[in-house]
Amino acid sequence: MDINQYLEIFIEEAQEHLQNLNQNLLGLENNPNDNNLLNEIFRSAHTLKGMAGTMGFNAIMNLTHEMENILDEVRNGRLTINSGILDVLFECLDFLEGSVNCISETGKEMDKNIDPLKNKLNNIIYNKDLPAHERQDADNSVAISNFALNQYDENIIVQALAQGMKVFKIEVILSKDCMLKSARAFLVFKSLEKYAEVFKSFPSVEDIEDEKFDNNFKLAVITSEGKDKVKDDLMSISEIDEIVIEELKEVTKAFEASSKEVAVAEAEQVEENKEDSEEAHAKKNKIGKTVRVDINRLDNLMNLVSELIIIKTRLEGVDSDTRDQNMTEAVEYLERITTNLHDAVMKVRMVPIERVFNRFPRMVRDLSRELGKEVNLHISGEETELDRTVIDEIGDPLIHLIRNAIDHGIEDKQERINNKKVPAGSVALRAFQDGNSVVIEVEDDGKGINVSKVKKKAVENKLISQAEAGALNEKEAVDLLFRPGFSTADVVSDVSGRGVGLDVVKTKIESLGGTVEVETSANAGSKFIIRLPLTLAIIQALLVTIGSEKYAIPLNSIKEITSIEKNSIRIVQGQEVILYRNGVLPIVRLSHVLDVKDDEKDSNELTVVIVKKGEKSSGFIVDSLIGQQEIVIKSLGKYLAGIRNIAGATILGDGQVALIIDSNSMI
């Protein structure tokens, strides 16, 4: 059987399980006693192990198996969750994510040795890497926590005790300079077999034979001999430093008592879990009614709908005098159908922004620990939907904004206390729909943007002169942060200082047809506001003429349309402006910007389309208006890519091509 046909399914499902592991481990860090979270983590790890084993990805399978051992110890109450254990589990998760990404790119696992991670996990079980106050007593080093006893083992112990036999747990500690550990272990087993039965070992017999253990191993045996006899026999073997023996009778009672406590606790949670189980069952049924579709197929479907809209527009453009009643009704019906079809396809392409937001809690945790700051992330509006193409591109800008908020915005703990703030900083990540746009906000309660420092750095970097810096208002100064290579960091670090973060944010957001705004207040924090279109494929636009050419201006960027008189235009610092609604409105002559010969009119009246970009506005002078129309955005292709002031093109109903104006680049 060729398993490569299932590779894409494995990658998608593995990424889902890894995301669940990330979220639930973060939840477990805040609620260490939440058994539901622990069970979810165990299920995800177990499922991932099975999937990896089926596909032949042994490194993932082996590592998740070792993770299961830790989780099982915690689940059975033999190990307590702490920051040390969670750090190792997160480290394992990073390896798993890297390996799955490598599989998606190359079809093969990441070529990295997992033994160091496996050793860390084993050391947790051996209690070697835990803090001193969390270690078990040395005299109790063979306690029940080192044995994952199952029901079968329990039955063996109960039957042995009933027959008057003795059950011992034995820890064999070898010399540090022991050369042949497996050979010494073989002698131990050989010696015990004369009068005892070994029914449990830790690690497994196979691992002991392969020397996959440190300088000690543990055994559970049934014998009629006394403790002293067993200890003396084993100590007679060379290169053994110590033998620790404990009778299992009392531990078994403790185990039984513990089992009863767990049973009582589980019984008390039955009612609480009943509702959760019903929700999980409903969710499972819902998932069962979904189907995975390749994004390329959706793109193809969208292209077909786009062509249908173009034909519909062409039919609408047919002279009404040449159409009979039936033709008119058919065109109207086609318009309704294409509108509904477009809405349906758009809904299929829409994806909750949650899939982007889910990666940030882990990032904030790691970054706050790296910088030594306390930071809480608050997410809201994750159910807000965006087009899949936008979702795939929005991740990087948000990463830069959140890193920027934690590094530059949030103060150190002591500084916050001195400023009479709570010690832990806060970063809010919100998303909500506003008309035909989606707004994403990244807000922190830090120190805000130091405008004086921004101006000073800009002058030092020779981006502006000292005179220009003095003339800048606060908003204009903040906009300097988006300049390529600009940074207010005094020292270059792993997190910031190279001046690429906000430059990347602005470039990416504007390439998606969106805008970025900044609001800041000293000692109160900053807010970055991203506004994005719902879709990048089909939009409403205003068609205008400039000279003999037709152009389209996206409707969501248009504020209003008005007319002005030629003699009302004034020139201020080389820029044409008019006084409009008690403010100064910059004027842009599109015929000059686009190098189009405009119609020479004797009329004193000019048509102006006022467009907005955040709080800024400009007036575009056009020759005439054609009207509002639904247009399909087409790429200009690689040879014409990057042309300034043009966002793309569209095909009109009569077959002509109209260029789409990029208003953001002109304001």
Q: Which positions are annotated as active-site residues?
A: 46, 68, 404
The Cα 514–Cα 557 span in angstroms is: 10
Structure tokens at 54: 């089926």
Containing 433, the helix (H) or strand (E) segment is strand 425-434
Contacts (Cβ under 8 Å, ≥6 apart) of 503: 482, 483, 484, 485, 486
For the chain, the first-to-last Cα distance in angstroms comes to 59
Name which of 584, 591, 553 is nearest 569 in CA terms: 584
Q: Within 10 Å of residue 51's Cβ, how many Cβ atoms?
A: 19
Give Cα 298 to chain centroid, integer Å: 23
Q: For 268-285, give the DSSP string.
A: HTHHHHHHHHHHHHHHHH
Check residue 297 and give left, alpha or beta (phi > 0: left; psi -120 to 50: alpha): alpha
Structure tokens at 414: 């002591």
The Cα 48–Cα 80 span in angstroms is: 24
Phi, psi of 372 (to 5 degrees): 70, 30
The Cα 595–Cα 597 span in angstroms is: 7
Within 13 Å of residue 57, how many CA atoms lie on the same side as its CB? 30
For residue 567, the 8-state DSSP code is G
Within 13 Å of residue 113, how many CA atoms lie on the same side as its CB? 3
Residue 444, beta-bridge partner list = 427, 526
Structure-token match 């809209």, residue found: 309
In sign, the C-alpha dihedral spanning 86, 88, 93, 98 is positive
The Cα 81–Cα 74 span in angstroms is: 7
In sign, the C-alpha dihedral spanning 657, 663, 665, 667 is positive
For residue 547, the 8-state DSSP code is T
In sign, the C-alpha dihedral spanning 238, 242, 245, 251 is negative
The Cα 649–Cα 551 span in angstroms is: 9
CA-to-CA separations, 229 to 51, 165, 221, 235, in angstroms, rounded: 48, 15, 13, 10
Structure tokens at 177: 């300079």
Within 13 Å of residue 271, how many CA atoms lie on the same side as its CB? 2
The Cα 404–Cα 499 span in angstroms is: 11
Give the amino acid at 382: E
Residue 526, beta-bridge partner list = 444, 520
Helix, strand or coil, per DSSP, at residue 450? coil
Helix, strand or coil, per DSSP, at residue 505? helix
Name which of 611, 659, 653, 612 is nearest 633 in CA terms: 659
Instruction: Give the neighbor-by-neighbor strand order of the sheet with 240-247.
Output: 196-202, 216-223, 166-174, 240-247
- For residue 116, is the peptide bond before it cis, meaning its omega torsion is within 30 degrees of 0? no
The Cα 618–Cα 302 span in angstroms is: 33
